[in-house]
């Protein structure tokens, strides 16, 4: 279990204290986290205890589970997922009766529906459409917008959805904290149930999320330990409330219990040349040194400030073609866009220009963003490939699905291994000739419920979630964002396929990933960072956000990094975008061109 760990990693894995671990890019953060979880799972003394891992994305949770499978570690006493999934599964669902607003049932609102309601409210209150209305709540239940008028809109939004027996993720967090704070019974139960709570990417954790975990750890009085890992220099989710709290602040959150600081400084990913570039944007004092197989290779780092935006795709095509000739796999090349709306048009141009090169662009997923929706979970089973690599995940997904089904129908569908295998066989045996994604899902869902001898219309929550799920898909295809987006079943299935082509994504979308060659464009003031960090903000706020984004972009690359601050970008006001301030300020010896 401890084989192959360096001294810094070993120290983090074997500590028996609460720990805050700062891990630089490429240091093996996920490796350390997985080994620590495996180490603690093997040391569990009671079969009634659980170990919890909170990740920023479900994909990260599944990666941890996959690595534990490879280590041969049983996971019956392990749970991994996002903080929202955690709150729903362990607090809201079992204890909803303690919150008056949830007493008569509720559903979790889809992000697409939330956006529509907020846009309508902004229109009613004559607020510009681009205004960001933050619906997050403080520990005291106060809204967090700087403008009190925007707080009133957020309050009205929550009033409207609660009247419709709906909550969003922000209310999910607030009610969870409220229950833990005011109900010792709930705190005590979780404190006695959990042996360890792991937090991945702690720098992206919101204040209310720290408070939720703090309630459990404080109540546990050292019977449940806390292990946080991340990198404050990669804290790029400030707009969503992410805060890289200090050791002192975290200690206060857990009732002033002892917590130690650990550092993992070595970078196994990048050349020293790449590290020397992104260290220009570092705010911490962690000494990052290349210690991997690429450490002493040269690679290329270029900066192009002359190309017009209309010709970027040709430049990118040249770089991609040359990399492929040099033996770089398509999946080892990544193009990073400043915002998500750049993805689809760029992908379309490159696919037309390089028809023989595979591209993986997330574009815009047609499925709703709420992964707690029952039909989203069922769609994942119907749309994902059946392979040896996915078998364990599919089994876990089915176990979760059946647990939800029992809860929603008061049923007694078995959740044992043989039961889940039987239900998976039913799903695997259902076929449809439908080629349209939405119609395909409707047909296979109904077929599955027919085999279970259940009528969806007899169960209010399932029917409500069905309407939310499919209304969201129809709504997306009716919006301008989805013009030209395919609606066939293969497009739907691609959502769950592993990446095999050149990746096109945002810097937020590739956080945690690594590629041999990275191409980044839109490195312009107003894109990197976004105007929200510049307009009506002190300069240091914009500067900090800018450095973190550039740090993340640069640290994705193993060997080659091609940067573009292109010409020809203009705002509606006529403002001409210029090169990012921090990128313009640094003195670095760039290579003249790619080879």
Distance, CA of 367 to CA of 491 (rounded, Å)? 11
- Asked if residue 3 lies in contact with residue 33, where contact means CB atoms within 8 angstroms, the answer is no
- Asked if residue 117 lies in contact with residue 157, where contact means CB atoms within 8 angstroms, the answer is yes
In terms of Cβ atoms closer than 10 Å to its own Cβ (0-12, 13-18, 19+), residue 307 is middle
Distance, CA of 527 to CA of 298 (rounded, Å)? 30
> Is domain 7-89+176-264 given the CATH code 3.40.980.20 in the classification?
no
Taking only the tens place, the pLDDT of each residue in 356-381 is 999 988 656 788 877 888 999 999 99
Look up the pTM and report it.
0.87
Specify which residues 246 forms β-bridges with: none
Distance, CA of 45 to CA of 52 (rounded, Å)? 16
> Going residue by residue through the chain (595 aa), what tens digit of pLDDT does each one get?
688 899 999 999 999 999 999 999 999 999 999 999 999 999 999 999 999 999 988 888 989 999 999 999 999 999 999 999 999 999 999 999 999 999 888 888 877 788 889 999 999 999 988 788 999 999 999 999 988 999 999 999 999 999 999 999 999 999 999 999 999 999 999 999 999 999 999 999 999 999 999 999 999 999 999 999 999 999 998 877 889 999 999 999 999 999 999 999 999 999 999 999 999 999 888 889 999 988 999 999 999 999 999 999 999 999 999 999 999 999 999 999 999 889 888 998 999 999 999 998 865 678 887 788 899 999 999 999 998 888 888 998 999 899 889 888 878 888 787 889 999 999 999 999 999 999 999 999 999 999 999 999 999 889 988 998 999 899 888 887 677 788 999 989 988 887 789 999 999 888 889 999 999 999 999 999 988 888 878 999 999 999 999 999 999 999 999 999 999 999 888 899 999 999 999 999 999 865 4
Residue whose C-alpha is closest to residue 276's, from 565, 554, 550, 546: 554
Distance, CA of 160 to CA of 171 (rounded, Å)? 13
CATH of domain 272-364+497-585: 3.40.50.300
For 301-326, the DSSP string reads EEEE-SSBGGGHHHHHHHHHHHHHHT
Residue whose C-alpha is closest to residue 31's, from 52, 2, 55, 59: 2
- Asked if residue 545 lies in contact with residue 286, where contact means CB atoms within 8 angstroms, the answer is no
Strands (E), 507-571: 515-520, 557-564
Q: How far is CA 525 from CA 117, 277, 337, 529, in A?
A: 31, 19, 14, 6
Residue whose C-alpha is closest to residue 153's, from 174, 182, 128: 128
Q: How far is CA 535 from CA 144, 541, 544, in A?
A: 17, 10, 14
Q: How far is CA 462 from CA 106, 163, 275, 415, 419, in A?
A: 12, 19, 50, 19, 21
* DSSP state for residue 458 in the 8-state scheme: G
Residue whose C-alpha is closest to residue 88's, from 434, 411, 377, 422: 377
Write out the residue limits of the CATH 3.40.50.300 domain(s) in the chain. 7-89+176-264, 272-364+497-585
Please report where in the chains the tokens 């080629």 appear, as a residue: 435
Please report where in the chains the tokens 């969003």 appear, as a residue: 168
């Amino acid at each position: 279990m401890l084989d192959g760990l360096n001294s810094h990693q070993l120290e983090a894995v074997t500590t028996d204290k609460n720990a805050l671990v700062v891990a630089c890019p490429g240091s093996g953060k996920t490796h350390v986290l997985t080994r620590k979880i495996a180490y603690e799972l093997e040391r569990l003394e009671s079969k009634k205890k659980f170990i919890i891992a909170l990740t920023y994305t479900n994909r990260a949770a599944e990666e941890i589970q996959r690595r534990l499978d490879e280590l041969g570690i049983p996971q019956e006493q392990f749970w991994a997922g996002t903080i929202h999934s955690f709150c729903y599964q362990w607090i809201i669902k079992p204890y909803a009766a303690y919150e008056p607003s949830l007493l008569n049932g509720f559903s979790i609102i889809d992000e697409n529906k939330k956006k529509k309601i907020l846009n309508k409210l902004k229109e009613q209150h004559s607020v510009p459409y681009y205004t960001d209305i933050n619906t997050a709540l403080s520990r005291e239940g106060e809204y967090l917008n700087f403008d009190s008028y925007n707080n009133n809109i957020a309050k009205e939004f929550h009033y409207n959805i609660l009247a419709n027996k709906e909550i969003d993720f922000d209310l999910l967090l607030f009610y969870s904290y409220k229950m833990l704070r005011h109900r010792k019974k709930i705190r005590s139960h979780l404190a006695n149930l959990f042996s360890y709570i792991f937090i991945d990417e702690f720098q992206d954790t919101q204040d209310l999320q720290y408070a939720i975990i703090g309630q459990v750890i404080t109540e546990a009085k050292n019977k449940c330990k806390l292990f946080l890992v991340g990198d404050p220099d990669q804290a790029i989710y400030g707009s969503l409330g992410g805060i890289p709290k200090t050791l002192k602040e975290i200690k206060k959150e857990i009732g002033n219990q002892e917590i130690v600081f650990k550092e993992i400084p070595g970078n196994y990913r990048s050349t020293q040349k790449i590290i020397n570039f992104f260290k220009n944007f570092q705010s911490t004092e962690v000494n990052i040194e290349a210690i991997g197989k690429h450490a002493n290779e040269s690679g290329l780092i270029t900066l192009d400030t002359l190309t017009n935006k209309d010709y970027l795709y040709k430049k990118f095509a040249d770089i991609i073609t040359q990399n492929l000739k040099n033996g770089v796999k398509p999946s080892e090349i990544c193009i990073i866009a400043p915002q998500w709306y750049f993805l689809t048009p760029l992908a379309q141009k490159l696919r037309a220009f390089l028809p023989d090169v595979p591209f993986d662009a997330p574009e815009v997923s047609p499925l709703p963003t709420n992964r707690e929706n029952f039909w989203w979970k069922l769609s994942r089973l119907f749309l994902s490939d059946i392979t040896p690599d996915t078998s364990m995940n599919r089994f876990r997904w089915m176990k979760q699905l059946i647990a939800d089904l029992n809860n929603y129908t008061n049923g007694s569908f078995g959740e044992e291994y043989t039961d889940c295998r039987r239900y998976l066989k039913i799903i695997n045996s259902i076929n449809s000739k439908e080629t349209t994604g939405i119609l395909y899902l409707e047909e296979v869902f109904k077929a599955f419920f027919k085999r279970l001898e259940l009528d969806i219309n007899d169960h209010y929550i399932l029917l409500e979630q069905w309407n939310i799920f499919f209304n969201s898909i129809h709504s997306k295809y009716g919006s301008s964002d989805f013009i030209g987006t395919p609606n066939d079943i293969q497009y739907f299935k691609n959502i769950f396929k592993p990446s095999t082509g050149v990746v096109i994504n945002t810097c937020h979308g590739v956080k945690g990933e690594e590629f041999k060659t990275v191409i980044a464009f839109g490195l312009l003031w107003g894109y990197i960072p976004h105007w929200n960090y510049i307009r009506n903000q002190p300069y240091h706020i914009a500067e900090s956000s800018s450095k973190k984004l550039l740090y993340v972009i640069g640290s994705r690359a193993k060997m080659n990094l091609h940067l573009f601050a292109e010409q020809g970008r203009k705002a509606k006001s006529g403002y001409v975008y210029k090169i990012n301030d921090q990128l313009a300020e640094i003195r670095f010896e760039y290579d003249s061109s790619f080879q």
